[in-house]
Structure 1
C-alpha cells in the first residue's frame, strides 16, 4: 500500500512539472516521463513488480531533476507555479506555521467573502520555565487548492472591508498583524462599498495603523495586493510574483486586443519578463525587505521544512519591527539585528507597544515608503534650483509654524474668548434695545412714503439683481478650445431622447463650454480649459516641472512612446503641480493630464503628487487634485508604478492628519490604481457631469467576471448613487462650486478643521 502511495505521489509530481513547463521540452522532463512511464506500465502489468529500492532511485532522480529545472524557471513559469492548485495556501500556513488558530468572520463558503480569510492565532514561546503565547491577527487571501468558491483569491469589496475591520480590531487589542497576499487582483465590482473605494480605505487606514504589520507575498496582483500589503516588513516567497498587472493583461494592452481576442503565449511570456515581477527583481528595486527561498519548483503542502523556515522568518520580522521602535532596546534589540533567521525563536520580545513606540512605528513606516522608487524617475532640476527650493520650503515651514502654531494658537484662544464675550454683549443689547427698535420701525413704515420711499410689498417681492448689471455674468471664458474654430455642426448624443437641436461647434465649444444647452450633456473638453477657466493657471506658479517620466524597466519601445507624448503635450509627465489663487483663496493643485499616456501614474507622477501634498502641508493651504483623466497605474513601469498607490496615500494621510483640506475633482475617464488609492481616500470627491469613474473599465469587468456590464455603469450619477463620489458639478459652474466648497469645507483659515 505504501508503494502504491509513493508511486501515486511521483505521478502527481510529474503532472505538476508538466503543468509548470507547459509545452516546453527538456531532456530532464523527457527522462522523468520515460522512467516513470516504464514503472507505471510494469506495475499495471504485474502489480508489486516495482521494488522499494527502484522507487527510491526514481524519487532521487525526481529530486535531482527538480533542482535542475528550478534554475531554468522563467518569470511566466513562476506565475504558473503560484497559480497551481498544489501551491501552498493560507490554510496550510495556519495549520503548519502557527501553534493554534481560530478562523473568524466566517468559514469556508459560509462567509461574506471566501477569498479573504481572517484568523486569530498565536506563537507559543518558552521563556525560561514559562510558556508565553504571542497573539497575532492573521489576514490573507485564501486561494485554496482549486475550490471554485474561493474565486482564485480575488477579494471582493466586502472581503477587503472585512480585512480592514479586523485590522482595526488588532489595533484596539495592540497585537501585530500578519498579512498573506495570494491574489491575482481584486474582483472588479463597483457596487457598494466599491472595489476602488474599499482598497483606498484600506490603504488610508494602513498608512497609520498603530500596530506592527508584516506581509508575505506569494502572488501580488496590483491593487488587490496593496489592499493588505502596506506593511512595516515585506517578505516575498522566491517563486512568487508582484506586479502592476497580470502578464495576460499586459499582453492584451500591448497587443491592442479587442472583442475577446487572446494574446499569444509568446507575447504573454515576453510581458512577464519585461515587467520584472519576480522576487529577486522586487528585492533589487527595494519593494520587499527579504526573499524567503522555497523548495525547488515552489512550496507545496508536504514541504514541512519550508513552513518551519516561514515561522522563523515571521518571528524575526516581527521582532525587528518591534525592536526598532521600543524605547528600552538593550541587548535584545542588538541581538535581533545581528541574529540569523534560524536563531529567531531563541530571542523573546514582547510585541505589545507603548503609545509613543506606536507613533514611532507609524512614522518609520511612512518614511520607508517615502524613500521608495527614487531610481524610477528623472529629476532634471539643477543643483542651485534644488537648494533654492529646499530653502523656500524651510522658510515656508518656519513661517507656517510661527503664524499657525506658535502665534495662531494664542490668537485662536483670544478670538474664542472675545467671541464669547461679544455674543453675551449682543444678547444683552438685543434684549434691551429691541422694544425701542420695534417702535421706530412702526413709525417709519406708517409714514407718507413708507420706508426709504419704497413700498414694503415691492421691497419684499422684487428681484435681488444689482442695479448696474444683469443677474447672469457674461459667457466669455479665459481660454476657448481650438476646436471651436471648426465651421460645422454636431449632434448631441441625447438627440433621440431629449430632441436636442444640432449644435454649431463655435457656439458649443466657445460660449457653451462644451455643454449642450438643451439637455446638459458634457462633450469632452481639454484640460487647458480647466487650467485657465477654473484654476487661473496664467497667474499660478508651477513647481517640480523638471521631474520627468522615464523607462525604468527598459520596456521595449516605451522610450519612443514617452518621447512622443512629451513632444505632443509639452509636458514631462502626466502630472502638473502648481500654486494658484481661486477667488482670493490660495491653494496647491495637482492635475493628472489625460493626453499624456492616458493620465497614467508612474514614479515621476507619484513623486510630484507627494511633493504637492507636502507643499500644501508646509504652507497650510488646501490641496486640490483635478483628474482630467487617468487610465490607472502605468504598466510599463511595473511595480515602480504600483508602489505609488501606498506612497501617495501615505502623503495624503499625513496631510489630512495635520489638518489639511484635500479635495478631488474627476473628469472624463478615471479608473484603476489612482482611484483605488490616493484619489479615492479623499473625504471630498466630486465629478464633472458625464464623467466615468470606477475600478476597472467595462471590458476588463466583462472579461474578468464573465458578467455583462450594464450601460452607463461607470457614469457619475451611478457613482454618486453608490457613494463613490459626493457631488456632481456642471462644467460651467466648476469654479464657483470649487470656491464654495473651499469656503464651506475649509472654514475661515482654509487649512485646519
Structure 2
C-alpha cells in the first residue's frame, strides 16, 4: 500500500474515533489529530525512507491510543459503535463466517423487507479425511453500510413474518438456526399484520421450534430483538448493547418533553448508563451466555481475525445446544465445558437431532428462560409459604391428572359410548312414535320464559370507590357516581348526544353513553368486582412486589408513590374466581400502577398464574385495564418478560387450556407484542386502543403523524389483531359465552 492510501486509512480511522466519542473532549483524540495533521503537511518534504518510518510510528501510535480509548468507552459510546456505518453487517458475516450461502426471499432493496436478511448457508468442517457440510438457516436484521433502504435494521411486520416462515422451514429440514440481531427496534407500523401481532406470533412459535437456535446480539433493541432472539444459546458482541428501549427513547420518557423537543446528549448518556445495556452488564445479570471479544473500538468489515473468532463461537454454541440433549456425548461435552472447542476441528457433532432430543431441547429452552430475571423482584413470602406453595402445586397437578385424565378419560369414554347408544335409541323411538301417531314429530311444548328480573348493576357505597354488598353479591361503584354534575359525550356534535348526569352515567349506564354507545373510562376495580367476582375470589402471589433491579436513580421513589397511590405492590393482580359456576384464573394489568407497565414482578406473577391454571386445569383470563408495555427502568430484566411469559402461556395452551385476553383503554408496547398478542382469543372493549407503539412514539421514531383512530378497537379488529369488540355492559355475559364455547380440550368442565 502506498503512502497516500495509508494516510487515507488513518484519516478514516480518526474520523471513526471522533464519531464514536461524539462531542466529548479527549486528549488522546486531540493528540492523534495533531500528529496526523503534522505528518500530512510535511511528509512530501521528507525522504521516502523517513516518511515510511514516521508513518509506521504514527500507525503504532494509533493502535496504542485506540487500545487506550477502548478502556474509556461509556455505554453511549458503545451505542454509537453499533450504529456506525463502518460497523460489520450481516452480509459481512455471511461472507466471512460461512463457507457458502444463498440469500432467500429477494435481494437488496427488492426484498419484501430489506431490513430482514435470510439465507441458507453451510459450514464446512474436516473430520479426519472427510469433508462435511453442515447446513444452517441464517436470519437477521441487515443494516448495511449507510444504505437507507435498509431502514436502519428496523424490520416491518412482513419482515418478521418472513423470518418466522424460514424458521419453520429450518424446523422441517432439521437444521439449526443462527439469528443475528442488528436492530434498534421494529418499525411501529399497524398495517396487517401489525407490528405487535407479528412479534407476538414470532415469540409464540419460536418457543416450540425444536431445532437448535443460536442468537448473536450486536444491537438488540426491545421487541425488534425479541422477534428473533428466543434462543438456546445467546451470545453478545463485546461492543453491543441489549436493552428494553433505546437510550434516546428512555431519555425522552424520563424528561417528559413536549412533542418535537429534543433531549440533551448528557441525559441520553446518563440513561444509557442507568439502563445497564452493555455486554458486560447483560452477562453479569445472566441474560446472555457468553461475550464474543471484538477488536478495539469495534469490529469492521476488514476485521478478519474477529470473523474467525465469531465462526468458532457460533459452532461451539450450536454444539453446546446439541450436546445438552444428545445421548452419546461424554468426551465432547467435557471438551465444550472446559472451553476447548474454540477450534472448529476440535469438537465435531452432528447437528441433526432425534425426535426425543428435539423434545428435550424445547423443554430445556423453557427452563432456561424460566430462570431468567427471577432475582429482579421482591417476594415477601416466608420460606414456609414458598415451600407450601410448591407442595400445593404438585398436589394440584397430581389431582388434576388423576381426576381429569386417569379417571376422567374412562368416564368420558363411557359417556361417549352411552351417548351413541342413546342417540340410536332416540332415533328408533321417534320413528316408531311417528308411525303410531301419524304425526310430524313436532313437539307441542312451549318454551318457558324466565321471570327473573335483571339485578341492578350498581349500589351506593358508604365510601367513594369502595365495594359494597347488595342483593346477594359484592359490587363496586365508581366514585364519580356521587358527582352532582353532567358529562358531555365526545360524539355530541356528530351524534346529537344529550348531556348525561354523573350518577346515571357511571351508575345505571356503566359509563356508556345511552345515545351513541361511547365508553367513558372506568376504574379497574369496577371490572374486578362487577365482572370477575373478585370479592369472592382468592388472590394469590400478592407478596410479589416490583423492585428496582438496576438501582435506577429515582425509581425507588416512583415505586413508593405508585404503591401509596394505588395500594398495589405491582401492576399485576392475579386471583382465582368463579364465573357463573366455572372456576377461572384471572390476571389483571392495572393502569394506575406505573401505567400498567410490566417488569420482573408482573412477569413472574403472569407465569405463576399460567402454571396454576395448567395444574388445576382452569381457563386463564387476562384483563388489560391498560398497559404502557415493558417497564424501561428495569432494562433487560423487563424486556425478557416478553419471551418468558409467552413461553409459559404457550405451554398452558399446548396443554389444552383456554387463554382469553380482553383489552381496555390504552394497550401498547412489548406486552401486546408478546404474551398478550399471542392469544388466539383476543377481544377489545369499545374504549380500547391497541398497538405496538403509541402515536407520540411513532411520531418521534418515524416522523409520521397517525390519525386519531389509528389504534382504535375497530382498526385492531379490521387488521385481525382482535376477534371481536365488546360492550362493557355485556362483558360478563360475553366472558361466560367464551368460556363455554372456546378453548382447549383439558379444561375440567369440558
TM-score range, shorter chain: over 0.9
What's the counterpart of residue 392 of structure 2?
392
Distance 1:584 1:130, change over 3 A: same
Alignment partners' CA distance in 2, 1:583 and 1:143 = 54
What's the counterpart of residue 175 of structure 2?
175
Contact 2:512 2:518 in 1 (8 A): yes
Distance 1:126 1:589, change over 3 A: same
Alignment partners' CA distance in 2, 1:439 and 1:415 = 32
What's the counterpart of residue 223 of structure 2?
223
Correspondent of 1:598 among 591, 595, 599? 595
What's the counterpart of residue 63 of structure 1?
63
Shift of 1:711: 2.0
Contact 1:746 1:752 in 2 (8 A): no
Instruction: Give SS of 1:381's match.
Output: coil
Q: How many residues align?
A: 735
| 1:284 equivalenced with 2:245 (yes/no) | no
Shift of 1:48: 6.9
What's the counterpart of residue 721 of structure 1?
718
What's the counterpart of residue 493 of structure 2?
496
Instruction: Give SS of 1:342's match.
Output: coil
What's the counterpart of residue 480 of structure 2?
483
Alignment partners' CA distance in 2, 1:392 and 1:631 = 34
Alignment partners' CA distance in 1, 2:507 and 2:340 = 69
Shift of 1:40: 2.1
Let me know the Cα RMSD of the aligned residues: 1.8
What's the counterpart of residue 81 of structure 1?
81
Alignment partners' CA distance in 2, 1:744 and 1:210 = 31
What's the counterpart of residue 104 of structure 2?
104
Contact 2:666 2:688 in 1 (8 A): yes
Contact 1:626 1:666 in 2 (8 A): yes
Shift of 1:189: 0.4
Distance 1:704 1:432, change over 3 A: same
Shift of 1:6: 1.2
1:194-224 deviation per Cα after TM superposition (whole angstroms, max 9, x unaligned): 1001000000011111100000000000000
Alignment partners' CA distance in 2, 1:384 and 1:46 = 82
Instruction: Give SS of 1:343's match.
Output: coil
Instruction: Give SS of 2:216's match.
Output: strand
Alignment partners' CA distance in 2, 1:271 and 1:676 = 24
Structure 2 counterparts to residues 132-531 of structure 1, below 5 A: 132-439=132-439, 465-466=449-450, 468-469=451-452, 474-476=456-458, 478-531=475-528
1:54-89 deviation per Cα after TM superposition (whole angstroms, max 9, x unaligned): 221111110000000000000000000000000000
Alignment partners' CA distance in 2, 1:47 and 1:222 = 56
1:9-49 deviation per Cα after TM superposition (whole angstroms, max 9, x unaligned): 11100000000011111221111001111122235789979
Distance 1:440 1:353, change over 3 A: closer
Distance 1:223 1:47, change over 3 A: farther
Alignment partners' CA distance in 1, 2:744 and 2:121 = 46
Runs (5+) with no aligned partner, structure 1? 445-450, 453-458
| 1:634 equivalenced with 2:631 (yes/no) | yes
Instruction: Give SS of 2:564's match.
Output: helix
Contact 1:188 1:696 in 2 (8 A): yes
What's the counterpart of residue 562 of structure 2?
565
| 1:694 equivalenced with 2:685 (yes/no) | no
Alignment partners' CA distance in 2, 1:236 and 1:683 = 33
1:240-276 deviation per Cα after TM superposition (whole angstroms, max 9, x unaligned): 0000000000000000011201000010000000000
| 1:537 equivalenced with 2:540 (yes/no) | no
Contact 2:656 2:745 in 1 (8 A): no
Alignment partners' CA distance in 2, 1:441 and 1:522 = 48
Alignment partners' CA distance in 1, 2:137 and 2:116 = 13
Instruction: Give SS of 2:126's match.
Output: strand
Alignment partners' CA distance in 2, 1:439 and 1:77 = 89
Shift of 1:391: 2.2
Contact 1:665 1:685 in 2 (8 A): yes
Distance 1:49 1:437, change over 3 A: farther
Distance 1:112 1:46, change over 3 A: farther
Alignment partners' CA distance in 2, 1:60 and 1:594 = 58
What's the counterpart of residue 456 of structure 1?
none
Contact 2:655 2:746 in 1 (8 A): no
Alignment partners' CA distance in 1, 2:584 and 2:671 = 21
TM-score, normalised relative to structure 1: 0.95
Shift of 1:339: 3.4
1:126-165 deviation per Cα after TM superposition (whole angstroms, max 9, x unaligned): 1111100000000000000000000000000000000000
Contact 2:656 2:747 in 1 (8 A): no
Distance 1:702 1:606, change over 3 A: same
Instruction: Give SS of 1:220's match.
Output: strand
Instruction: Give SS of 2:435's match.
Output: helix
What's the counterpart of residue 37 of structure 2?
37
